[in-house]
Each structure stands twice: as structure tokens, then as C-alpha cells.
Structure 1
Amino acid sequence: MVRTYVGKPNCIILAVSPANQDIATSDAIKLAREVDPTGERTFGVLTKLDLMDKGTNALDVLEGRAYRLQHPWVGIVNRSQADINKNVDMIYARRKEREYFATSPEYGHLASKMGSEYLAKLLSKHLEQFIKARIPSITSLINKSIDELESELDHLGRPIAVDAGAQLYTILELCRAFDKIFKEHLDGGRPGGDRIYGVFDNQLPAALRKLPFDRYLSVQNVRKVVSEADGYQPHLIAPEQGYRRLIEGALNYFRGPAEASVDAVHFVLKELVRKSIGECQELKRFPSLQSTIAAASNEALEKFRDEGRKTVVRLVDMESSYLTVDFFRKLPQEMEIPKGGKPEAAAAVDRYGEAHFRRIGSNVSSYVNMVSDTLRNTLPKAVVYCQVKEAKQSLLNYFYTQIGKKEGKALSELLDEDPALMERRMQCAKRLELYKKARDEIDSVAWVR
């Protein structure tokens, strides 16, 4: 057990040995040499000088000839068992000790450096020097611990005020922190927003290319649609009603990719909301507020998606409601005229032939491709305007109007923290206070050189 204590580098070792025994066999000196080979921490103390045999003394030890230590040996004379039995007080014992060394013929010349009082002063001076030497490292360690605790408290968040106004301010600040991260994702400051461009640049064009226009504009289907549009009286020159039905039917296919683009962007926005909440360090301590913000954001995104769907479908319907006339005015000029024949004759011969219906399908396909190119450019604009732009500008606007109506209890519920986190913050605050007090105590000490 003794070795456990004296082995510590901050421990001062008092190697106490009786003067009436051989110093070479002292267990205290032996143990001190093992744990402190340099002798920096070891002070030799020689007792029972008054009990040595007549004609003998301990000058060889006290003067360092018999066994040298880095620090000088100190001889002391303690109370005898008889003095203890008689309850001789320490003041009287110290006076007798001083008288012993002052009047001793052997130790008189060392009297100023002998005795318990001198040993106490020697140890105090050494302890003072030892502490002074280690104050910079102790202060550095304390400052480092203070910085770490303050950093952890900043990470955990400071305690929330009980005032409703302060709580509302805190909630709004947390919402702004989340909204800032969300906008950074959209604007490219953080990853994720590029997936929206991927919807427009990859997903939408691929969906438009996969539309079944080849099947819809086959000769058989064109003949069927044109014949049904003519009714009981076939068309005379050009099957205008057939053209209109074919075009309207073809344009209806664009609804699917248009709405799919809206849904794809909606999914990306929801993912960015989830990521932004997870990346907002300030929100992590308030799970209830996290859930509330997520619900409010998703509710707003649902409204933006509904508006986006209406808008893109409206764009498709607009293309169906009014066809580009100039495109069809060119069609008669593009019809093939047999050599030596007249256009009317060619139309009469070809009106119900396969080439006639193939030409109608080709014309409709050209018009649909023109509309497809238009929608490929206009649909992303509609989606960005109705969903992305609105999400950037007014994602939490409705939530702000509702939170302003809540009272203290409802606000406190939103700022309800995890009990484990609250306990951790309290422990950190206590430790921080103790470290700061310790630093102040060290700084206030005026060391005497």
C-alpha cells in the first residue's frame, strides 16, 4: 500500500529511519531508492537521536558522509512514550527539541537545520517550489478542460429560458437555422439540389421518349380514329376532325411524364427537408420541434405539389386546346403529287389508302414532337416556379403564423428536451464552474520568491 502512494510522481517521500539502527538496512531508504532513483522527491529524516548509545552519534548520516541524498538529512527528537503518557503538549515538546539541538555538543553546529520545525519549513518550501513549477501545466490543463466543456455546452445548447417570448424567439431562430441549411441544399452549397436538375435533364426526357406514339400512330389506329371522327360522312379534302382527335389523344400521353416530374421533385424536396433537419445541430436537442418542423414542411410541400400538378396539366391542356395553325397550313404543299396529275386527283385516289393514313400519322407525329420539345422546356419552369421557388421562399410561412398563436405551455412542449441531454448539460455546467473556480484560485495566489 505504501508503494502505491510513494510511486506517484507528485508524492514527497519522507524516508524516516531511527538513528540507533544501521542506515544501510533502512527499509524506508530502500523503498525510496526504488521509486525515486534520482532522489528529487526524497527527504531523509533521522529520529531517536536522543536514544543513541553514549559515545556514538549520527553526524556521518546528517552531514551526508554515510549516505548522501539530494536533499539534506534532518534530525528530529520526538516525544518519548513517558511524555505521551503525561500528555506533554506539542509546544513544550518542540521547545525541548530546540534546547536539545542547541545544547548538544555533537549537533550544536547543525541546530539551525535540525528539528521538526525546520523540517516543516523545508517541506513547505519544497512544496511551494514544486507547485510553482507545475502551475503553468496545471493552468494549461484547466484551461483546456474549460474550453472542452464550453465547446460541449455549445454543442448541447444552453438552457432554455422559461419566458414565452424568449421561447418563441428560440423556436424562430431554430427554424431559421433549418431553413438556411435547406436553401443551401437547393442552391448548391450542400449536396442534393442537383438531383432536381437530374429530373429535368434525364428523367423527363427519358419519359417523353418512352411514350407509345409508334403504337398510337400506327396505320391501323390512325385509320380507326379518322374513320370514327368522320362519322357517317367521310372527309372530303383533309380529315380535320381526325387530325384533332389524333393530336388530342397523343397530347394526353404527356400528362404522365408531367405529373411524374412533379412527384419526383416533390420526393427530392422531402428528402432535402429530412437531411436538413438531421444536419441542423441546434435542432437535435429538441425532438418534438424536429417532428413539428418536419410535419409543417411536408404539409407545405404537399400544397406546392398539388399546385405544380395543376400547372403542368394545364400546360398540356393548353397545347390541346389550341393547335398551332401555321404547322397545318403547310401540309397541302407537302403532299406528293404524281407526275402529270392534279392534286385533287391524287387526294381522291389516296384518300382511303394506306399511304394516306401513314402520311396523317407522320404529320401528327411531327406536330407531337414539336409539342414535346416545347413541353420539355416549359414543364421544368412550371415545376421550379410552383415547387422549388415556393419551397425556398415560403416553406415555413404557414408554420410561422401558427406558432405565433401558441402560448407558453405549447411552446415549452416544442422545446421539451431529452432528459439524458439535460442531465449531461447540468453535469458539464457543474464541472465548468469548478474548473473556473480552480483557475481563479490559482490566479489569485501571489507566490513569494
Structure 2
Amino acid sequence: MAEEAVSSIPTHSSSSAAPLGHSVIPIVNKLQDIFAQLGSQSTIELPQVAVVGSQSSGKSSVLEALVGRDFLPRGSDICTRRPLVLQLLQTKRRPDGSEEEYGEFLHLPGKKFFDFSEIRREIQAETDREAGGNKGVSDKQIRLKIFSPNVLDITLVDLPGITKVPVGDQPSDIEARIRTMIMSYIKLPSCLILAVTPANSDLANSDALQIAGNADPDGYRTIGVITKLDIMDRGTDARNLLLGKVIPLRLGYIGVVNRSQEDIITNRSVKDALVAEEKFFRSRPVYNGLADRCGITQLAKKLNQILVQHIKTVLPGLKLRMNSALVSVAKEHASIGEIPESKAGQGALLLNILSKYAEAFSSRVEGKNEEMSTAELSGGARIHYIFQSIFVKSLEEVDPCEDLTDDDIRTAIQNATGPRSALFVPEVPFEVLVRRQIARLLDPSLQCARFIYDELVKISHRCLVSELQRFPILRKRMDEVMGNFLREGLEPSETMIGHIIEMEMDYINTSHPNFIGGSKAVEMALQQIKSSRLPVPVARQKDGLEPDKAPASERSLKARAILARPVNGIVADQGVRPVADIEKFTSSGSTTGSSWGISSIFGGSDNRVSAKEISTNKTYSEPVQSLDHSISMIHLKEVYS
């Protein structure tokens, strides 16, 4: 339907405004109906006229006068509570000269309303269904077409009047809501603004002109309407207002005289009101020479001309946008394909969609999808990164000795010994402490599983098969099923991870080649101590140097000799032993048996060292002369004394 409407839009406008309006405005109305049904009004802006004004300013009376029939809800309080899109379509008279006037609602297709009082009741009922019966306001449209030979082709949008104080069920911010609703229409460049202001109020305080000025600051789209000219104060008139001398508008002003509330109560017809309006302007000499600015008839002609001219302005861009949108939609439709009518064909289509979805999911995991993003890791590459980088890093950050102090170790050993002192270090505290540290690996492992689950969920959301665009419910259901499937797989995965950690905690494999036992740990510790202390020979004292002024190497040797002082008064009489021998001696224990080493715990021969063994166990890095040897011995004796 939209394609037919676009193809029927004339490319070149004719010189006559009426024929163009008669051919173009109905096409625009048809497009508006199509977009309203599709709910895509904001995608393409269509030309229309929005009627704005404060509450009880006479907007509804102006619309009724344009139609020539009484069909809108009227009253002293707020009446227009939903936007009413009114499409006036001119029809031809019958050959016998009779007229056929009727209305159609978009929400009641095919039903014609020949009685305009029924149209009023349907508008009121539809408003109450959406906005409630206690003065509530809604932004959902009511679309009404009126076919009559007495109207010109115009599309008008009657918007709720601007109010200040909430009444009934209206929210406290009713004024802000109504202004936001009005701005959503009049801010569009394709929308003309019909600003209605009563003549018995100051034009500078007009809410309609104020909100129109915000949406159209240059005034290229605003038409001013001055109502209630017949109830102005005596001695005043609206001539300067109509001439634009107070607040100028590029499109000018039109003055009208509406039916009063008394006329509505007495059922005075709109036709009689139009006759009375004409008499009013003729009887007022001040309005002489302003015939083109006074009366409903002039307002209808001007609106038609301005709307047609506005359509001529926006027509090229409108047709271009619609053609590009049609091309895009046609490509999308071709990619989606046709819907088979038979059940067998529908089953095959469903199976094809599921197969494509599974292939898309698999290709994203395996990295074979051509549409994968190059800006970030995704799919299987992201899963690999989680395992190899995030998970490994989280494990490396777990310090096995964190929160494990010497006091904890000492307390664990003492608790394991019970009431007696232990000769050997028991294994129970080791297992207790190790289990506690192994348990710390559970949280990083569970976090890794959740990361993988989240990535799989993202992959399932990105596997959008083109056919699924036609079936949003199927797409939603597939997402639910896939999410439940992955969630059901996450629970046993977390349980299995917990079991693995429990298995590692229950059995400590001390037979593993990488496990370091107690004797091996002591041996490695002794080797590290020995390697950190290299043997240093006794340096010769240079001639002419005092002991206090000896080189740093000799002073270091003195310190080592002091540390290596024999326990039982044994003094070396032939030089200083190497550091290795000193360490061997000090580590093996004294001859008194008061101190004992690790080697005595694990068995072996007596580790006591006699003075003879100490004196005979000597090593020299180089031969020394007798003089140097005597000096060294004297020096050592002084040190030990």
C-alpha cells in the first residue's frame, strides 16, 4: 500500500493550487493512515496542520466551522483529551445535487457514520476507553476522516488545550505533559502550526504563540487565529492584531467568530453561525478592507493553500526518503523470504530456522563466522582468553602462603601432638593447613565457569537468523530455551568443580615427583645457607699496617673468627679454619651434649668433634711463611683472649 501511495505522488506540481491539493493531500492522508497502522510515524515526517492553544480558546469550534458540522465534544472544561487527527476530504456532489457527508474512524474500518452526533459519541467513548472518564489525558491518536463536498482537503491535528491546574484524575505535572505532547508534533519541520488565541485576552500572554515560537522561532510555519472577536471589550477591536502589528507572523492572522456556549446549548447549527459571522464582519466598519483575513471561509482557503504549498516544498525530499525506505524494506523482505501456507512447509521452515541457528552458534564458537567483530574478542576466542589468561591469572594471584603465619603453623603442630610432646613433626597439621589453602582455589574456578556461561549467553543472543525477524515470539522463546539450557549446564559444572576441589583436599599425593618432603626441604635449606656463605682464606697482613687499619677482607675474617670461637675452649693453633669447617662444627653441636642438631634426630654416629679433629681438619688456600703464620696466631690469640 505504501508503495502504491508513493508511486502516485506527482513529481511536478501544477500551477493551480486546488487541483494539486485535491490530488496530493489525499495521498498524504493515505500515507498517514498506513504509518499510523504500522506504528512508524516518527520514521517519515508527513505534512499536516497541528492546532494548538490554551484550554477553552475555541480550537474545537474552529474545527467544527471548517467542517460545517457539529461533531466534537464541547463543554466549559477540558474536552480534547486525546490528539484527534482530522482528515477533511472533498467529494463531488451527486448528479441530482444532493450531498453525502459521512465520517470514518480508523479503529472502525468500513463503518460509515452519517449522523455526526454519533461521531461525537464515538470520540467521547474512545477517549474514555483510553484516558478514563475523569479528565485524564492520553497521547494516543484518534483518526477521523470526514468526506463532504463542503470542505477543502486539509489534514488537522486537534491537540489537548494547555492547562495550568490539574483536575480530576490528571497528574500534578499535567501542564508539562501536555506541552511535551504538543511539542512532539509541532517540532517537526513538516508540520504547520495553527496557533489559536482568544481576542478577549492579551496577545502577549498567548500560550499558543509562546509554544509555537519555541518550535518555530523564525515563524515560517505558524498561522495565527484570533477567536471570540464578538466578545471583546467595548471600544476595542482586533484590527492591529489581524494586521500583525502587535506580534508579526510571516503567514499572518485570521479572525473568526465562533458559536457561544449558549448557541451550543440551544442547538444553533454551524451553518447559521457562519451566516452570523459574516453579518458580524459586515456590520463592523473597523474590519473593512480585511476581508481576506476574516471568517472561517478565508481560514479554510488559506490553510488549503499553505498546506499545498508546504507539500510542494517538502515533496522532493519526502519522495526520496520514502523510495530509499522502500528499497531497504524490499531488500529485507527478500532476505527473509516468503511464509509457506501449508503446515508441512511451515514445519520445514521452522526446522530450517533452527538448523541455521545451530550453525550460527557453532560457527561463532569455532571462529568461522564472517560477521564477527574485529574490535574485540568474541565467541570461541573469548572463551580461550578466559581459560588461558583470566583463569590462569586468577590462580597465580592466589598466594599459597597468604594468611599462613608461623603462629598458625606452630599452633597446628601443637594441636596435632595432643597432651604429649612430639619427637617428630606430625603430618596432621600439614594436611590441615594444605586443605585450607587448596580450598581457596574454588572461587576462581567457579568464577571462570560463570564467565564461560555469560559468554555463551552472549553468543546465543548474537546468533540472529534473518528469518527470526518475522517471528519475534519464536525468537523470544528460543532465547528462553537457550538460556535455560545453559543455566542447567552451569549447575552441574559448578558441582563438578566443587567435587574436584574436594578430591584434591581429601588426598594429598606426597608420592608425586614434584612434592618436596621434609628431609628434602631441610637439605635444600642447608644447601642454600652454604651457598650463601663462600669460604674466605686468611689474608696476609701487609708490612707496616696496624691491626685496626687492616683491609676490609681481614676485618671480615676477624668477625668470622669471633663467630667461629670453639665452645669447649679449644683454640686452633695453626691458623683459621675455612668457613665450611666452622659451620660444620657449629652445626654438629658441642661436646657437652646440651645442644643437638637435625642429624642427631634422624640417627647416625656421634657428631661430637674433638680438638684433635678440629686441629687436623685444616685447609689453606695458599702456603704461608713462618713470619706471617706467627703474626696470624698472635692475632687470633688476642682475639680469643
TM-score (norm 1): 0.41
Q: Greater relative contact order (Cα 8 A, min sep 6): structure 1 or 2?
A: 1
- Would you tell me which structure has more strand in proportion to its own residues? 2
Q: Which has the higher helix share?
A: 1
Normalising by structure 2, we get a TM-score of 0.29
